[in-house]
């Protein structure tokens, strides 16, 4: 077309006019195409946006929860992250779900102990399993995990802050002393306590934390009631124990008004042979063959002692925060402590592998019954009672006792030496440290466990 315009038309003006005429048509056509394309693009992009808005979200991906291994060591993988924030040490529990912190399982915890026998200086030689040469260490790497919620680890900073200008006492037998030493060791990374008192036999002691003006005591009174005991430090008796079941031991009652927090416990001592006194006369006995006395049994004595304890607490004008710790099971196998019994297990029991023995079941039932009666109206009476139910979770830890390592290097001279085993008290560090996690939880969220 251009070639035809160039050769057939000789008038330059005629060529220019033809060019402008055709150019005008071309421009109009191009503009029309541009507008149509723009409209189509806008329509298409709006459709894309509309589709993206109404397109449904994909369903959530379900993940399968896995538990930490509990049967083999060393642990190769860390435990799942906890449900609480270490910054504020609070538990994230579902609303309206009441957690039973005493029902659960022991799970692997690769973080290990919170202290050692080198960082804590109040461990008695009988519980210093590391120093005494216990060769295994797997018993360090477990923590108590309640079934329905997460239990934060003991927070020493927060505990001492709460205890500023306060006093606390553990009242009971040698297990109470074992527990108070665990607490002292758990607090030692923040502040070392100063021992300020001990009795003649070093059974009752008191410590002071100067920076917090906090006093922590253990008051040795294995029966809680008045008792005449004729037994040496090795458990050898020269006569029957005499118990006044209607009189409390003034060793602890005289100090009660100065205490803000109290952990009371009893148990194994009530199984010993004893003569019972009530109303200033002999009323019967336990395990006293050959004597013309009524066999009342340890159940009668233990129930009487607990009732008297709770009556005193509820009747006192001083309102302390009181815990009742339940009985502690032992793990002697193939004999008792005096007849060659031993405990050589190295891992916890799993649920269903062991049952509480008859004696411990009876004792714990008495504790639960008497605590239930005493705490029924504690809020109305201004009394704060909490149950520290450590029996079952402790039953699952046969690996946590000193065993033969209650003595220093018991097999150093003879690998086959016959030595007495301790399958009742706990190594430090050891499972008893988890009791402090429970105490802390009851202290912070106590209203959830009434």
Active site residues: 174, 422, 425
Residue pair 173/220 in contact by the 8 Å Cβ criterion = yes
Determine the Cα–Cα distance for residues 450 and 385; give it in Å rounded to an integer.
8
From the list 336, 328, 331, 367, the residue with the least C-alpha distance to 349 is 331
Burial of residue 250, with CB atoms counted within 10 A of its CB: 0-12 exposed, 13-18 middle, 19 or more buried: exposed
Phi-psi region of 417 (alpha: psi -120 to 50; beta: other; left: phi over 0): beta
Q: Name the token pair of 148.
A: 């329905």
Determine the Cα–Cα distance for residues 423 and 411; give it in Å rounded to an integer.
18
| Phi, psi (degrees; rounded to nearest 5) at 436 | -70, -30
Determine the Cα–Cα distance for residues 434 and 440; give it in Å rounded to an integer.
10
Determine the Cα–Cα distance for residues 271 and 175; give it in Å rounded to an integer.
15
Phi-psi region of 21 (alpha: psi -120 to 50; beta: other; left: phi over 0): alpha
């Amino acid at each position: 077309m251009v070639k035809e315009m160039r050769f057939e038309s000789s008038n330059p003006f005629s060529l220019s006019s033809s060019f402008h005429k055709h150019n005008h048509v071309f421009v109009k056509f191009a503009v029309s195409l541009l507008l149509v394309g723009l409209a189509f693009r806008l329509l298409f992009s709006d459709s894309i946006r509309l589709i993206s808005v109404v397109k449904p979200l994909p369903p959530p991906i379900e993940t399968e929860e896995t538990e930490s291994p509990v049967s083999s060591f060393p642990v190769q993988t860390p435990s799942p992250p906890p449900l609480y924030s270490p910054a504020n040490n609070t538990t994230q529990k579902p609303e309206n779900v009441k957690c039973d912190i005493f029902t659960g399982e022991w799970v692997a915890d690769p973080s290990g102990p919170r202290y050692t026998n080198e960082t804590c200086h109040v461990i008695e030689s009988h519980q210093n399993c590391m120093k005494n040469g216990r060769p295994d260490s797997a018993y360090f790497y477990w923590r108590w995990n309640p079934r329905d919620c997460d239990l934060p680890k003991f927070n020493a900073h927060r505990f001492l802050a709460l205890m500023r200008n306060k006093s606390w006492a553990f009242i009971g037998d040698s297990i109470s002393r074992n527990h108070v030493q665990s607490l002292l060791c758990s607090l030692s990374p923040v502040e070392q306590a100063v021992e300020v008192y001990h009795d003649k036999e070093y059974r009752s002691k008191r410590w002071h934390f100067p920076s917090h003006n906090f006093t922590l005591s253990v008051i040795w009174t294995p029966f809680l009631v008045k008792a005449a005991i004729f037994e040496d430090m090795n458990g050898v008796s020269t006569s029957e124990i005499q118990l006044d079941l209607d009189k409390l031991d003034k060793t602890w009652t005289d100090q009660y008004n100065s205490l803000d927090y109290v952990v009371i416990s009893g148990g194994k001592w009530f199984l010993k042979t004893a003569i019972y006194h009530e109303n200033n006369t002999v009323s019967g006995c336990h395990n006293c063959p050959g004597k013309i006395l009524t066999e009342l049994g340890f159940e009668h004595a233990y129930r009487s002692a607990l009732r008297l304890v709770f009556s005193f607490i509820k009747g006192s004008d001083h309102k302390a925060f009181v815990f009742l710790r339940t009985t502690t099971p032992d793990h002697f196998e193939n004999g008792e402590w005096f007849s060659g019994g031993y405990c050589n297990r190295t891992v916890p029991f799993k649920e269903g592998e062991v049952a509480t023995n008859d004696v411990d079941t009876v004792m714990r039932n008495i504790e639960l019954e008497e605590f239930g009666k005493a705490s029924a109206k504690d809020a109305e009476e201004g009394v704060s009672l909490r149950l520290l139910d450590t029996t079952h979770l402790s039953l699952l830890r046969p690996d946590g006792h000193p065993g033969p390592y209650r003595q220093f290097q018991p097999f150093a001279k003879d690998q086959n030496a016959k030595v007495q085993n301790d399958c009742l008290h706990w190594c430090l560090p050891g499972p008893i440290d988890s009791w402090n996690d429970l105490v802390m939880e009851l202290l912070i969220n106590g209203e959830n466990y009434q």
